[in-house]
Structure 1
Amino acid sequence: MSISDLYYNSEHSKEIGHFANIVKIAKADGEISDGEKDLLIKMGKKLNISLEEFTIILNNPEKFPINPPVSYDERIERLYRLTKMVLANGDVHLKEQKLFEKIAVGLHFPNDRAEKVCAEAIELVIKNVDLDEFIPAIKKVDKA
C-alpha cells in the first residue's frame, strides 16, 4: 500500500493525520513505552486504522499532515486524545510538550494561547475529566 492509498477519502485522511500526530507524540521522547503502545493500539482501532496503515504510520508519521477537522468540538476532541498520549507514560517530557503545542496550533488553536490550552488540557486529563467536561473547559481557556 502506498501512502497515497491511505488518503482514499477525506474523513479517513483526517483520521490518519490525527493518528500520525498521536504517533509523533508517542515517539517524541525517543521510545514508545508499553503504555503508549497500548494507547496507540486503542486509538488505532477507534480511528479505523488498519494494521497495514498502522505500520506505515508508525514507521514514518512525519509524512502525514495534521489535516484538522472543521468542527471546533472535533478539534478539541483531538486535543483530548493527544493529551492522553502525552500522559500515557505518566509524565510529560519537554519534547512532547513542545510538539503537543505545535500540533495544537496546527489544529487551529491560536498561537498565542496554545501553551495555555495545552497546559489546561494536561491538567484536565490528569484530573481524569471525561470528554464531555473537557470540551467546555478548553473552550473557556481558549476564549480567555
Structure 2
Amino acid sequence: MPIIDLYTTSEQRRNLAHFATLASLAAVDGEVSAREKSLLDSFATKLSITKEEYKEVMKKSNKYPIQPYNNEEERYERLYDLFRIIYADHSIEDEQMTLIKKYAIGLGFPSKKANKILEKSVAIFSGKIDFKDYLYILKS
C-alpha cells in the first residue's frame, strides 16, 4: 500500500504528492545536487513532511498522484515551488520541462495556458525577461 493511502485529509495527501513531484524533478537528471537537497529540505518543512515520508519519497519512483486545485493561486504557488527546485542548479533540462508540463496540466491548467505559463516562468527564472516585463512585474 502506498504511504499516501494512510492519510485521511486531502491537504496532507496534496502536500505529500507535491513533495514527491518536487523530489522527482530534483532527481530527474540522475542526481540531487546539494542546492536541490537544501530546497527539498525546506519544502519538507513547509509541507510538514516527516523524516520517514522524506526517505520513502526519495528512495522510490513517484507513485503519488497529482492533486488538482480549484484555486488558481494555489496552482501557481505549486508551479512556483517546482520552478524553484528546478532552477536550484540555475538551469532547466528537457526532462524537467517535460515533467513540469505534465504537472501543470495535472494541476488543472489547460494545455495552451500551461505552455504560456511555463514559457513565461522559464523566462523569469532564467533571467531572460525583457525590460517591459521586468517593469510590469515590479510595478504590479
Q: How many residues align?
A: 127
Structure of larger gyration radius? 2
Q: Who is 1:141 aligned against?
A: none
Identical positions, percent: 34
**Alpha-carbon distance in 2 for matches of 1:2, 1:21:** 15
Using the alignment, how far apart are the partners of 1:81 and 1:27 within structure 2? 15
Q: Distance in 2 between matches of 1:86 and 1:29?
A: 10
SS of the aligned residue for 2:108 comes to coil
Deviations 1:34-93 (A, max 9, x none): 111110001010001011111111122511011122211111100100011111111111
- How far the C-alpha of 1:126 sits from its partner, in A, is 3.9
Flag structure 1 segments of 5+ consecutive residues without an equivalent.
Answer: 128-136, 138-144
Gaps of 5+ in 2: 128-136
Letter in 2 for 1:109: F
Which residue pairs with 1:119 in the alignment? 119
What is the distance in 2 between the residues matched to 1:105 and 1:8? Answer: 25
- Work out whether 1:101 is the aligned partner of 2:66: no
The alignment's TM-score, normalised by the length of structure 2, stands at 0.83
Quote the residue 2:90 is aligned against. 90
Taking the aligned partners of 2:119 and 2:50, their CA distance within structure 1 comes to 32
Cα distance, 1:10 vs structure 2: 1.1
Q: Equivalent residues in 2 for 1:34-49 (5 A)?
A: 34-49=34-49
Matching residue's letter, 2:79 = L
8 Å CA contact 2:69, 2:108 repeated in 1: no
Q: Which runs of 4+ in 1 moved over 2 A?
A: 122-127
